[in-house]
Amino acid sequence: MRSSNIAVSEDVLRRIADAIDEIASNDELQRTKRQIEKLASLSHPTVARAFAQDLREKTPFAINARFAALNPVNKGLSPKEQVARREKQDLEAARERIVELETQRDAHLQALYAYFVASSPKEPSPTVVPINRAVRKADGL
C-alpha cells in the first residue's frame, strides 16, 4: 500500500483547516503548504496525505477548496508581499512611461528647433565691437 493512501485522522484535517484559517487572517504569512506544515506542526507527508485524501473523499473540512481560495494566483505570496510586488511593477511601468515621454519630448524639441532655424531670416553677422580691456575708467583715460 502506498503511503498516500493511508488515511489521516480528523484531528489532522482540523489542524490543517485551522492553519488555513490562520493564514487567511494574517497578512504576514505566506500562502503555502509549507506554512501550513509549520502552523499545524505536521510533517510534509502527513499534509500531503491529507490533501490527497480530501481530493479522494469529500471531507467536511474541504481543505483543497479552502487552500485554492486562499491562494488563487499569487504563487504563495502573503498579501503584504503581493502589495510590494504590485508597487514594484507599477513603479517599473511608470519609469518606462517616463522614458517614453522623454523620448517624445526630445523629438518635439528637435522639431521646434529645426522649425526655428528654418524660419529665421538670414541676417548678416553682427559687427564685432572690440573691447579694450587695458583702459580703465578709474584711471581717467
Residue 1: pLDDT band with limits 50, 70, 90: very low
Q: Mean pLDDT throughout 1-11?
A: 72
Which carries the bigger pLDDT value, residue 82 or residue 44?
44
Residue 2: pLDDT band with limits 50, 70, 90: low
pLDDT digits 0-9 by tens, 24-76: 888 788 888 898 999 999 999 999 999 898 888 888 888 888 888 876 656 66
Ranges of each domain in the chain: 3-77, 78-120
pLDDT digits 0-9 by tens, 104-137: 999 898 988 888 888 877 776 667 677 776 655 5
Please compute, for residue 101, the number of CA atoms within 13 A of its CA located in the half-sphere on the CB side: 6
For residue 92, the model assigns a pLDDT of 93
Tallying the residues shown for the chain, one arrives at: 141
Nearest to 53 by CA among 17, 4, 1, 14: 4
